[in-house]
Amino acid sequence: RTETTDDGLEGDEGSFLACSFWLVSALAEIGEGERARALCERLLAAASPLGLYAEELSPRTGRHLGNFPQALTHLALINAVLHVVRAEQQAYEDGWHRVAGPTVEVPGPDAAGVRR
C-alpha cells in the first residue's frame, strides 16, 4: 500500500526509534534481559555525534532522519535503559550476575541468610 502512493517526501522510510526503544522495554518486561540489553546497546551506539537521536534511523545507512532532536525518542531511550537496569538488578537479586561475557551464577544466601 505505501509503496504505491506518494507521500510527498523524498527518500526512504527509516525505523521509528521510539518503537525500537519500546521494544527494548518490552523485552526486559517479559524476561528477555539479554536480548533487551543487546538491542539497547545497538541503539545507544547509533546516537548522533552529539549523542542525540532523530525521529527515525535509516536501516541502510544509519543516518538520522526526520525531526532532530526528537524528544519522544529520548523519553523512550530513558525508559528503555531503566527497564534494562531494573531487569539486571532483579537478575542479580535472584542470584545471577552479568559480567563481561556469558552470564554466571553468583551464590546467594543459604537458608540461614549466610552468603556463601
Whole-model pTM? 0.71
Could you give phi then psi for residue 105, rounded to 5 degrees? -80, 135
Backbone conformation region of residue 66, classed left if phi is above 0, alpha if psi is from -120 to 50, else beta: left
90 within some domain: yes
110 within some domain: no
Span 59-113, pLDDT tens digits: 889 999 999 999 999 999 999 999 999 999 888 877 765 544 444 344 455 555 5
Count up the domains in the chain and report the number.
1
Size of the chain, expressed as the number of residues it contains: 116
Residue 82 half-sphere exposure, CB side, CA atoms within 13 Å?
A: 7
115 within some domain: no
77 within some domain: yes
52 within some domain: yes
Tell me which residue range forms the domain holding 36: 13-105
71 within some domain: yes
2 within some domain: no
Give the type of residue at 102. Answer: P
1 within some domain: no
Backbone conformation region of residue 93, classed left if phi is above 0, alpha if psi is from -120 to 50, else beta: alpha
